[in-house]
Chains A and B, each alone.
Chain A
Amino acid sequence: MMVVLWTDALLWLVFALGLGYGLYAARRPHLRAPWRRVVRSRTALAAAVVLAAYAVVGLLDSIHLRAGPRDQGPYAGEVVSLLDRLLTPLRVHQEKTYAAPFALHLYARETVQGPDGRPLRTWPRLRWAPEGVDEAHKAGHILRLALKGVLWGLMAWLAFWGLLAAALARVRRATFGGTARRLVRGGDPVPWPTLLGTAALVLVVAGVLAAWAPHYHVLGTDKVGEDVLYQALKSVRTGIVIGTLTTLVMLPAAILLGIAAGYFRGWVDDVIQYVYTTLSSIPGVLLIAAAVLMLQIYMSNHPGEFDSLVRRADLRLLFLCLILGITSWTTLCRLLRGETLKLRDQDYVQAAHAFGVAHFTIIARHILPNVLHIVLITLVLDFSGLVLAEAVLSYVNIGVDPTMNSWGNMINGARLELAREPMVWWSLAAAFLFMFGLVLAANLLSDVVQAAFDPRTRGARR
């Protein structure tokens, strides 16, 4: 049975909007041209492939189902996502407590009953350690699995290549073989080899992980024995939700007020400027902390209103997006106001006035399309900043729900783990690695997008 959470719906809405924008832009040369410049950049293409991988994980994690009674284990009746289903081995392979990456035994010594009945202080073997593999055979086993994984990855890659070539061949009315060859050799303005290369890398890594995951805890386990790789993957969705929904929330207000201020000037401008100057002078963290604490109190006072933990965590996430949006719309608003001030004195706007065109029509036809590039640049630039902001907020405990997987919560937990002796480093490392990949890819892409859309840099890079 499908369960639709608020953020699920909104995330898919963002996805649909993105698709819609793509179709819209494809038919308009002035929008197609800058995007063409983006696709022709190697960096952007590679970054886009990595982002697409993250997006697939995030979107799979945004289709929630209520596990039926047939599902075994402790999860019967719980709300789980499609991703959870795919990652079932990771999800159910729960250990007792910490285990290092690829370990066969727990990380800490425990007192167990020896075979002879006497208490023995040792490192107990993991519940889900692969059978019949001991320390001596471990390396060989891991290597065999890795080879299998590489093979899977390559097969997936071949399929991807074939599909891409078939699609392109259809569009260009060329032969399949020729197109496929061109794709790896290059020669098109779009650097296809970069695309395929990055895809190969991503798919092989995914294949190897998939081969290892049922047998080992690739990134170890956390305090309660949960697989860290699973946590990190689940956190992808949280990061993407924060990064996209926040901007989606703030967008209408920023666009409306920014353009209104710049276009009408006078007292409208004064009021709007006053509002955003005031708002941006309040420290954002303070506002967020106050709002989140209030929500927490509300939730604990009205436990009956939330039928599951997942729903409750989801609402808190959405609320966080809202609050972050409210504190961050002012920048975009200010940019839009400035640009609109410039545009409204353009001759074509004056010409529209001379025809007696209504204000609303002028805004919709002449102002909005000419400021959209600013909106786009802000969107992509803000994304990585927001992902990082989530981590910081969760770290100081005013971020997402503690039960929700997020990189911020992982880092927060790692605070104590690093102080242990021996040190538990893998949670932090995993959170860092996944976050770094996402933010780096987003930043690389946004640089290229900005260069392509910003009229000031457009001439410079050619």
Chain B
Amino acid sequence: MTAPALVVRDLSVSVGGSRVVDGVDLEVAAGETFALLGESGCGKSMTALALMRLLPPGGRVRSGSVRLDGEELLDLPEYAMRGVRGGRLGMIFQEPQTSLNPVLRVGDQIAEAARLHDPAADPRRRAVELLAAVGIPDPERRVREFPHQLSGGMKQRVMIAMALAGRPRLLIADEPTTALDVTIQAQVLDLLADLRRETGMAMMLITHDLGVVAESAGRLAIMYAGQILESAPVGAFFAAPAHPYGRMLLAALPTGERRGGHLAAIEGRVPSPDEALQGCRFAPRCPQAEARCHRQPPDWHPVGPGHRVRCHLWAQGGHGAHVDVPVAKGPGAEEGAAAPLLETQGLQVHFPIRKGLLKRVVGRVRAVDGIDLHLDAGRTLALVGESGCGKTTCGKALLQLIRPTGGRVLYRGRDLAALSGRALRPFRRELQIVFQDPFAAMNPRMLVGDIVAEGLVAQGLAKDRAERRARVAELLERVGIAPEAAARYPHEFSGGQRQRICIARALAVEPRLIVCDEPTSALDVSVQAQILNLLHDLQTGLGLAYLFITHDISVVAYLAHEVAVMYLGRIVERGRVEAVLAAPLHPYTRALLSAVPEPDPASRRQRIHLEGDMPSPADPPGGCHFHPRCPEADARCAREYPPLRTLSSGRVVACHHVPDG
């Protein structure tokens, strides 16, 4: 191993009196990618900000040392630190949108960074070079554009170019791809890997995504409640995680093999930083906790070469540490009775684009453009696609929350799209929705009890107050929330608990079908597992059908029976989950699946690279919508849109080049 570029020793940070980072030790070698992995609120971003000395107001470093190439950063005066920041120490953030100044040209912003840290070179030339280096096509033109003219992936590339302007020795990337789609994420991760290889810089990747770590890092450290619990080479960790938390995180990931069973959800939630903890930080949630775990903080114990862990179980060389994480097999819900519940025929949602004084319609955004779906009772259909493909609009159109502009939505043979508001009311009972963001999904001014009872009242399902209260208590219990919660306000609950309450609210009217709009994407892995388990149990218990809208393939593999892949408002492929995931036929599906980072470094597949971004649904390309990005496109693809064909295997695909077989 080469000399470490960054050495952090015993770093402690407090913000407003609570210790958010507590005694962190790190080393990052030149040319290495080091991943800092953790769930939200574990202190990983604070660690990065402390390294940059960019702590928020009220935050300060209490102790420790941060050495970059042997130079102590914490002792530098602020003006010297400014030279280091953006120079030898680069940083890219999660949100490229907010990190670029919207009124300055991209080239000027990069040139400014270049001028500060590299006065010798001509800043304009350097800006073009840097843009070329981060793989932006036609950099001479792009330097003159404004940030809003670039897509999200492009903006992140520009941010990377700015960070590179100072020729950094260490690049800190804080969730660099979390806001991006999978295919774009793959592009950015590849770019970062290439740059690291070319420049020999060290990289610190901060993420919550085990898949990203497995694909792109060499070593990792797991952070929990301000402390590092385990640090290991990536291969060794994924082969045999040593810490119970690490093991449970891996076991909590939804995968195809785990379908029908329970995921190993970690009970409870991450402790908030102002809770005083003695003993092991993980003890309240650890299934293997012993008496001493609650008293005495564990020391570091070696596991293997470069692999250390902070857990009492390893005090005797790992004796007793290989207890299996319990994975309870639930009753299999595989083959439910198949009775058609919901069907859409040519569902269309077009939004008019109005311009000018008279608000004339100058065009249409074809958010959903002719979709046929079919969902049976008690089954799960996953609607998969990247952001902007129209999947959320489609879900809302099914519930008539957005009125379709064309096509039919048949619920048990009745066309909901043709019903007026009043006639629709009885059907509202049967179809419900759970939203992505559990924080926005509840009126902050209402008590949880009133929120859950909303549907009961609206549908006239509970005659009096007492009955209503009893129903609410029952519902809350059903989703694993104490009934006393009814008298509290939503802000007193964590994200996972709120999502449970939202599910209870949907269940109140005893629906047959629930549209789940990315219900777990705002949650941490361990909490996501709890919610998925709950959804799974509810399906087996109540025979619910789910339309599961998501971009997360692993969730699809775990939960869905059927899957439909959407691109630019249309379905491109549809079929049974196992079949589609095992052998995707449509080029887009194939690229999408190959771009998903697998939490298993051993299975590095060939990635199919997609160039560019998804076009705007206001102006879809002619012919096959996918042809500008499709690796297999030919002249015919640019001319005519391929019809949806049903293959003999039962698979439905829209592509000229898929053989019928």
A contacts, CB < 8 Å to B = 28-30, 346-348, 350-358, 361, 365-366, 369-370
Are B425 and A348 in contact, CB atoms less than 8 angstroms apart?
A: no
**Does B445 reach chain A (CB closer than 8 Å)?**
yes
Interface residues in B166-190 (C-beta closer than 8 Å to A): none
Are A350 and B433 in contact, CB atoms less than 8 angstroms apart?
A: yes
- CB nearest neighbor in A for B456: A355
Interface residues in B448-501 (C-beta closer than 8 Å to A): 451, 454-455, 457-459, 489
Are B440 and A355 in contact, CB atoms less than 8 angstroms apart?
A: no
Q: How many residues of B contact A (CB 8 A)?
A: 32
How far does the alpha carbon of A196 sit from the alpha carbon of B451 in the complex, in Å?
Answer: 43
| Cβ contacts under 8 Å, A347 to chain B | 435-437, 440-441
How far does the alpha carbon of A30 sit from the alpha carbon of B428 in the complex, in Å?
Answer: 30
How far does the alpha carbon of A365 sit from the alpha carbon of B505 in the complex, in Å?
Answer: 16
Pick from B425, B442, B446: contact of A356, CB under 8 Å: B425
Query: Chain A interface secondary structure, helix, strand, loop or mixed?
Result: helix
How far does the alpha carbon of A380 sit from the alpha carbon of B431 in the complex, in Å?
Answer: 44
Are B428 and A356 in contact, CB atoms less than 8 angstroms apart?
A: yes
Are A353 and B440 in contact, CB atoms less than 8 angstroms apart?
A: no
| Cβ contacts under 8 Å, A365 to chain B | 443, 446
CB distance from A361 to the nearest CB of B (A): 7
Pick from B437, B441, B489, B509: contact of A355, CB under 8 Å: B509
| Cβ contacts under 8 Å, B542 to chain A | none
Are A357 and B445 in contact, CB atoms less than 8 angstroms apart?
A: no
How far does the alpha carbon of A358 sit from the alpha carbon of B454 in the complex, in Å?
Answer: 11
Could you jot down 12 A-B contacts, CB within 8 Å? A346-B440, A347-B441, A351-B435, A351-B441, A351-B502, A354-B433, A355-B455, A355-B458, A356-B426, A365-B446, A366-B443, A369-B446
Pick from B432, B440, B451: contact of A354, CB under 8 Å: B432
How far does the alpha carbon of A365 sit from the alpha carbon of B443 in the complex, in Å?
Answer: 9
- CB nearest neighbor in A for B58: A462
How far does the alpha carbon of A365 sit from the alpha carbon of B442 in the complex, in Å?
Answer: 12
Are B424 and A348 in contact, CB atoms less than 8 angstroms apart?
A: no
- CB nearest neighbor in A for B451: A348
How far does the alpha carbon of A370 sit from the alpha carbon of B490 in the complex, in Å?
Answer: 14
Pick from A351, A361, A370: contact of B433, CB under 8 Å: A351
**Does B396 reach chain A (CB closer than 8 Å)?**
yes
| Cβ contacts under 8 Å, B440 to chain A | 346-348
How far does the alpha carbon of A326 sit from the alpha carbon of B441 in the complex, in Å?
Answer: 37
Question: A352-B454, A356-B425 given. 13 additional CB < 8 A pairs?
Answer: A348-B440, A348-B441, A348-B443, A351-B435, A351-B506, A354-B431, A355-B432, A357-B457, A361-B458, A365-B443, A369-B445, A369-B446, A370-B444
Are B401 and A353 in contact, CB atoms less than 8 angstroms apart?
A: yes
Which 4 pairs of residues, A with B, have the shortest CB-CB distance? A356-B428, A356-B425, A347-B441, A355-B455
| Cβ contacts under 8 Å, A356 to chain B | 424-426, 428-429, 458-459
| Cβ contacts under 8 Å, A354 to chain B | 399, 401, 428, 431-433
Are A30 and B435 in contact, CB atoms less than 8 angstroms apart?
A: no
Q: What per-residue 1/0 map shows which CB atoms of B417-433 lie under 8 Å from chain A?
A: 00000001110110111
Pick from A30, A352, A358: contact of B444, CB under 8 Å: A30
How far does the alpha carbon of A348 sit from the alpha carbon of B498 in the complex, in Å?
Answer: 12
Are B445 and A370 in contact, CB atoms less than 8 angstroms apart?
A: yes
- CB nearest neighbor in B for A349: B443
| Cβ contacts under 8 Å, B457 to chain A | 357
| Cβ contacts under 8 Å, A361 to chain B | 458
| Cβ contacts under 8 Å, B489 to chain A | 29-30
CB distance from A21 to the nearest CB of B (A): 15
Chain A CB within 10 Å — which of B431, B441, B443 has the most?
A: B443
CB distance from B184 to the nearest CB of A (A): 26
Are A355 and B454 in contact, CB atoms less than 8 angstroms apart?
A: yes
CB distance from B444 to the nearest CB of A (A): 6
Chain A CB within 10 Å — which of B433, B442, B458, B505 has the most?
A: B458
CB distance from A11 to the nearest CB of B (A): 30
| Cβ contacts under 8 Å, B446 to chain A | 365, 369
| A357-B454 in contact given A30-B444, A350-B433, A351-B435 (Cβ < 8 Å) | yes
CB distance from B358 to the nearest CB of A (A): 12
CB distance from A335 to the nearest CB of B (A): 18
CB distance from B438 to the nearest CB of A (A): 9
Are A30 and B445 in contact, CB atoms less than 8 angstroms apart?
A: yes
How far does the alpha carbon of A356 sit from the alpha carbon of B489 in the complex, in Å?
Answer: 23
Are B396 and A350 in contact, CB atoms less than 8 angstroms apart?
A: yes
How far does the alpha carbon of A357 sit from the alpha carbon of B443 in the complex, in Å?
Answer: 14
| Cβ contacts under 8 Å, B432 to chain A | 354-355
- CB nearest neighbor in B for A366: B443
CB distance from B552 to the nearest CB of A (A): 19
| Cβ contacts under 8 Å, B433 to chain A | 350-351, 354
How far does the alpha carbon of A378 sit from the alpha carbon of B558 in the complex, in Å?
Answer: 52
CB distance from A461 to the nearest CB of B (A): 11
Chain A CB within 10 Å — which of B426, B431, B437, B440 has the most?
A: B440
How far does the alpha carbon of A28 sit from the alpha carbon of B443 in the complex, in Å?
Answer: 14
- CB nearest neighbor in A for B490: A348
Are A350 and B401 in contact, CB atoms less than 8 angstroms apart?
A: yes
How far does the alpha carbon of A123 sit from the alpha carbon of B451 in the complex, in Å?
Answer: 78
| Cβ contacts under 8 Å, A353 to chain B | 401
CB distance from A392 to the nearest CB of B (A): 37
How far does the alpha carbon of A294 sit from the alpha carbon of B431 in the complex, in Å?
Answer: 60
How far does the alpha carbon of A361 sit from the alpha carbon of B425 in the complex, in Å?
Answer: 14
Chain A CB within 10 Å — which of B399, B445, B451 has the most?
A: B445
| Cβ contacts under 8 Å, A30 to chain B | 444-445, 489
- CB nearest neighbor in B for A359: B421
Are A357 and B458 in contact, CB atoms less than 8 angstroms apart?
A: yes
Pick from A28, A348, A355, A369: contact of B428, CB under 8 Å: A355
CB distance from B472 to the nearest CB of A (A): 14
Are B396 and A370 in contact, CB atoms less than 8 angstroms apart?
A: no
| Cβ contacts under 8 Å, B401 to chain A | 350, 353-354
| Cβ contacts under 8 Å, A346 to chain B | 440
How far does the alpha carbon of A28 sit from the alpha carbon of B429 in the complex, in Å?
Answer: 31
| Cβ contacts under 8 Å, B441 to chain A | 347-348, 351
| A352-B458 in contact given A346-B440, A347-B440 (Cβ < 8 Å) | yes
| Cβ contacts under 8 Å, A370 to chain B | 443-445
Chain B CB within 10 Å — which of A348, A361, A369 has the most?
A: A348
Chain B CB within 10 Å — which of A29, A354, A358 has the most?
A: A354
Are B444 and A355 in contact, CB atoms less than 8 angstroms apart?
A: no
- CB nearest neighbor in A for B442: A348
| Cβ contacts under 8 Å, B437 to chain A | 347
| Cβ contacts under 8 Å, B424 to chain A | 356
- CB nearest neighbor in A for B439: A347
How far does the alpha carbon of A358 sit from the alpha carbon of B457 in the complex, in Å?
Answer: 11
- CB nearest neighbor in B for A367: B443
CB distance from B2 to the nearest CB of A (A): 43
CB distance from A350 to the nearest CB of B (A): 5
How far does the alpha carbon of A30 sit from the alpha carbon of B491 in the complex, in Å?
Answer: 10
Pick from A29, A348, A350, A355: contact of B459, CB under 8 Å: A355
| Cβ contacts under 8 Å, A369 to chain B | 443, 445-446
Interface residues in B376-401 (C-beta closer than 8 Å to A): 396, 399, 401
CB distance from B393 to the nearest CB of A (A): 12
How far does the alpha carbon of A317 sit from the alpha carbon of B225 in the complex, in Å?
Answer: 64
How far does the alpha carbon of A346 sit from the alpha carbon of B441 in the complex, in Å?
Answer: 7
CB distance from B430 to the nearest CB of A (A): 11
| Cβ contacts under 8 Å, B509 to chain A | 355
How far does the alpha carbon of A29 sit from the alpha carbon of B490 in the complex, in Å?
Answer: 12
How far does the alpha carbon of A346 sit from the alpha carbon of B443 in the complex, in Å?
Answer: 9
How far does the alpha carbon of A366 sit from the alpha carbon of B443 in the complex, in Å?
Answer: 7
CB distance from B357 to the nearest CB of A (A): 14
- CB nearest neighbor in A for B436: A347
How far does the alpha carbon of A312 sit from the alpha carbon of B163 in the complex, in Å?
Answer: 74
| Cβ contacts under 8 Å, B436 to chain A | 347
CB distance from B432 to the nearest CB of A (A): 6
| Cβ contacts under 8 Å, B442 to chain A | 348
Pick from A29, A350, A352, A357: contact of B435, CB under 8 Å: A350
| Cβ contacts under 8 Å, A28 to chain B | 445
- CB nearest neighbor in B for A30: B445
CB distance from A119 to the nearest CB of B (A): 79
